């Protein structure tokens, strides 16, 4: 085994150990009785809707990588992209510092399929921009459509919120216009990057927004089982919570997410809804992602061993 292979094997083993530790750490905050009681209190239609919205969100996340690879002019089958994206993000969401942690997993897979480290860095940057565009767009829409319901949360007047919402929506609009008419690289302060084609930029805004719409819908399905609230109030609460999670890089947003949601929607963000949301959106993907990573590593290793065996010259017989 080469030194590089040994380092990667050690990193994979460490990542699996970390995933198991995070799983234990998150679950240790709740007793089995609390988890069981939370599941029993939720009506099945609400639980099923939340689960389907979480699945839809992770499908949107695979689209981040798909669009990024298209923007690079590369070609990979979607199933491969979806596999790399899901494993990377299901682990990265829980580990924290998602850009760096998911980037290491992405490189592990994409390097096997012909992409360079520079390509992977561009995929990470593209995905980060998509997250920002989606968060800004859905936040702006919520402020414009349902600013009156968000007044109590922000303690600002309706006019101010609508102006803020319009200003936020100017950002993705400007991004799309620049992608349509600007050629070459865009430089902002010390940052310089090439804009994608206009079609990809518009798809980037749409899928980034759809992702957060589905996550918010997942929360709304759970919260609405405990209290009467608007979907856009849930969006505003999640945008605020997710912004703080991204800023603090706390693994899985543990504690930060719950605290902000409990403040933003105190009547709906019951312990039951928060436990089930963390179970659906973080714990199940983390467990599935860890199993998928271990399975694919075993498959890759078996294929590598077969390839090495096939390329060895046949021994001469006397």
Residue 69 in contact with residue 127, Cβ under 8 Å? no
Residue 45: domain span: 30-295
pLDDT digit string, tens, across residues 274-304: 888 888 998 899 889 889 988 998 887 787 6
Q: Would you state the pLDDT for residue 313? A: 56
189 occurs within a structural domain: yes
The pLDDT value recorded for residue 252 is: 60
Tell me the CA distances in angstroms from 78 to 86, 92, 118, 119, 241, one per residue in order. Answer: 12, 20, 20, 17, 31
Domain presence at residue 287: yes
Q: The whole model's pTM is what?
A: 0.81
Within-domain flag for 284:
yes
State residue 262's pLDDT score: 73
How much is the pLDDT for 317? 44
Residue pair 85/62 in contact (Cβ under 8 Å)? The answer is: yes
**Residue 316: per-residue pLDDT:** 45
In a domain, 94, yes or no: yes
309 lies in a domain? Answer: no
**pLDDT for 99:** 55
* Token duo for residue 59: 């499908």
Residues of the chain below pLDDT 50: 314-318
**For the chain, how many structural domains are there in total?**
1
Is position 239 within any domain?
yes
Q: 121 lies in a domain?
A: yes
CA distance 167 to 211: 21
Separation of alpha carbons 98 and 228, rounded Å: 33
What token pair was written down for 239? 């945008």
Q: Is residue 123 part of a domain?
A: yes
């Amino acid at each position: 085994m080469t030194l590089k292979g040994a380092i990667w094997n050690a990193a994979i083993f460490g990542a699996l150990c970390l995933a198991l530790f995070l799983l234990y750490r998150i679950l240790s905050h709740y007793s089995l009785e609390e988890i069981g009681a939370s599941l029993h209190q939720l009506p099945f239609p609400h639980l099923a809707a939340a689960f389907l919205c979480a699945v839809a969100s992770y499908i949107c996340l695979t689209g981040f990588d798909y669009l990024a690879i298209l923007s690079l002019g590369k070609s990979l089958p979607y199933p491969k992209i979806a596999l790399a994206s899901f494993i990377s993000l299901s682990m990265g969401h829980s580990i924290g510092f998602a850009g760096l942690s998911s980037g290491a997993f992405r490189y592990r897979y994409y390097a096997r399929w012909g992409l360079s480290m520079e390509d992977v860095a561009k995929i990470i940057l593209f995905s980060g921009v998509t997250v920002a565009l989606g968060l800004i767009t859905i936040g702006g829409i919520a402020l414009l459509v349902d600013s009156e319901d968000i007044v109590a949360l922000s303690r600002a007047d309706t006019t101010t919120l609508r102006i803020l919402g319009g200003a936020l929506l100017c950002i993705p609009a400007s991004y799309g216009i620049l992608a349509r008419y600007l050629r070459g690289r865009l430089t902002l302060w010390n940052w310089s990057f090439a804009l994608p084609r206009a079609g990809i930029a518009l798809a980037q805004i749409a899928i980034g927004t759809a992702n957060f719409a589905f996550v918010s819908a997942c929360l709304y399905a759970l919260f609405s089982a405990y209290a009467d609230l608007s979907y856009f109030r849930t969006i505003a609460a999640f945008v605020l919570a997710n912004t703080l999670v991204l800023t603090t890089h706390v693994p899985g947003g543990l504690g930060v997410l719950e605290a902000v949601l409990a403040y933003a929607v105190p009547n709906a963000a019951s312990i039951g809804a928060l436990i089930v949301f963390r179970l659906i959106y973080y714990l199940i993907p983390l467990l599935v992602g860890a199993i998928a990573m271990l399975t694919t590593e075993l498959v890759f290793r078996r294929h590598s061993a077969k390839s090495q065996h096939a390329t060895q010259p046949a021994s001469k017989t006397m």
